[in-house]
Amino acid sequence: EDQVTQSPEALRLQEGESSSLNCSYTVSGLRGLFWYRQDPGKGPEFLFTLYSAGEEKEKERLKATLTKKESFLHITAPKPEDSATYLCAVNNAGNMLTFGGGTRLMVKP
Partner 1 sequence: DVKVTQSSRYLVKRTGEKVFLECVQDMDHENMFWYRQDPGLGLRLIYFSYDVKMKEKGDIPEGYSVSREKKERFSLILESASTNQTSMYLCASSFVLYNSPLHFGNGTRLTVT
How far is residue 54 from each of residues 16, 34, 45, 50, measured CA to CA in Å?
26, 15, 24, 9
**Out of 27, 44, 50, 103, the residue judged to bind partner 1 by CB under 8 A:** 44
Instruction: Give residues with Cβ within 8 angstroms of 7, minimum separation 6.
Output: 21, 22, 24, 103
In one letter, which amino acid is 94?
A: G
**Out of 15, 17, 45, 81, the residue judged to bind partner 1 by CB under 8 A:** 45
Contact indicator for 80, 108 with CB cutoff of 8 Å: yes
62 binds partner 1 (CB under 8 A): no
Site string for partner 1, 4-43 (x = CB under 8 A): x--------------------------xx-x------xxx
101 binds partner 1 (CB under 8 A): yes
78 binds partner 1 (CB under 8 A): no
65/103 with CB nearer partner 1: 103
